[in-house]
């Protein structure tokens, strides 16, 4: 039997079970509010959101691979395209665009025009340093680490801080090749 072809983001999004987007937005908002109350320091909250995202990403990648049938991406460019078109569509219902490639092809920007996490959200003056969607940067970092890519993901533009779109910069630090895990003398 020939291997099944990869499915498009729209096709998978149509076939998975979906949840009400307001429920999703409000739940995420409640998480961020609770973290702000518990930790009080905006930088700590950013770090916690990133860590939570990392833990999600580590599990999410298997679900993504199982449902979307994509085979191993040949290079980082393909990886970024797959994340933007299939990954974001499958899990958030929106597609992102990939731009701003650097000369070596190791850094790019993912641009999100529409972001379901931030519907109805405004940042008050007390939280000006907060990256509200920092969970997304953790998710991408965690997921890519499980496919042997160590990356650094940072926010360049954030609509909640007055910019016109959400821009995430994804930088590939290195590819970690698999090694034989057992020592030879054991």
The residue among 50 and 158 lying less far from other proteins, judged by its C-beta, is 50
In the complex with other proteins, which residue's Cβ is closer, 5 or 122?
5
Decide: 35 and 49 in contact? Cβ < 8 Å: yes
Which residue in the set 61, 84, 86, 160 belongs to the binding site for other proteins (CB under 8 A)?
61
Regarding 177 and contact with other proteins (CB under 8 A), the answer is yes
Distance separating alpha carbons of residues 183 and 37, to the nearest angstrom: 47
- Both tokens of residue 168? 């995430």
**Residues in the chain, overall count:** 186
Indicate whether 186 belongs to the interface with other proteins (CB under 8 A): yes
Secondary structure string (H, E, C) spanning 79-127: HHHHHHHHHHHHHHCCCCEEECCCCCCCEEEEEECCCHHHCCCCCCHHH
Interface residue with other proteins, options 126, 148, 152, 173 (CB under 8 A): 148
When binding is defined by CB under 8 A, the residue of 38, 62, 75, 163 that contacts other proteins is 62
Minimum gap (Å) between residue 16 Cβ and other proteins: 12
The backbone torsions φ and ψ at residue 81, rounded to the nearest 5 degrees and listed phi first, read -60, -45
Site for other proteins in 4-23 (CB under 8 A): 4
Residue corresponding to tokens 């939570």: 52
Of 38, 43, 63, 102, the one binding other proteins by CB under 8 A:
63
Spatial CB neighbours of 112, under 8 Å, sequence gap ≥ 6: 88, 94, 96, 165, 166, 167, 168
Task: Restricting to residues 156-175, name those near other proteins by CB under 8 A.
Answer: 175
Closest to other proteins by CB, 19 vs 66, is: 66
Under a CB-based contact definition with an 8 Å cutoff, are residues 82 and 61 in contact?
Answer: no
Binding map of other proteins across residues 21-60, x = CB under 8 A, - = no contact: -------------------------------------xx-
* Residues forming the site for other proteins (CB under 8 A): 1, 3-4, 58-59, 61-63, 65-67, 70-73, 146-148, 175, 177-182, 186
């Amino acid at each position: 039997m020939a291997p099944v072809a990869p499915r498009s983001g729209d096709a998978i999004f149509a076939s998975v079970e979906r949840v009400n987007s307001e429920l999703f937005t409000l739940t995420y908002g409640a998480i961020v509010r609770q973290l702000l109350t518990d930790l009080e320091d905006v930088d700590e909250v950013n770090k916690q959101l990133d860590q939570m995202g990392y833990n999600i990403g580590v599990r999410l990648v298997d679900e993504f691979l199982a449902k979307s049938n994509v085979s191993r991406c040949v290079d980082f460019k393909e990886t970024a395209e797959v994340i933007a078109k299939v990954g974001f569509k499958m899990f958030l219902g929106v597609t992102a665009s990939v731009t701003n490639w650097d000369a070596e092809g190791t850094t790019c920007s993912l641009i999100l025009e529409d972001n379901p996490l931030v519907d109805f959200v405004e940042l008050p003056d007390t939280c000006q340093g907060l990256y509200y969607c920092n969970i997304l940067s953790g998710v991408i970092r965690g997921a890519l680490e499980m496919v042997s890519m160590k990356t650094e993901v940072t926010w360049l533009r954030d609509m909640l801080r007055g910019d016109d779109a959400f821009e995430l910069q994804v930088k590939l630090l290195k590819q970690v090749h698999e090694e034989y895990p057992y020592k030879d003398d054991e």
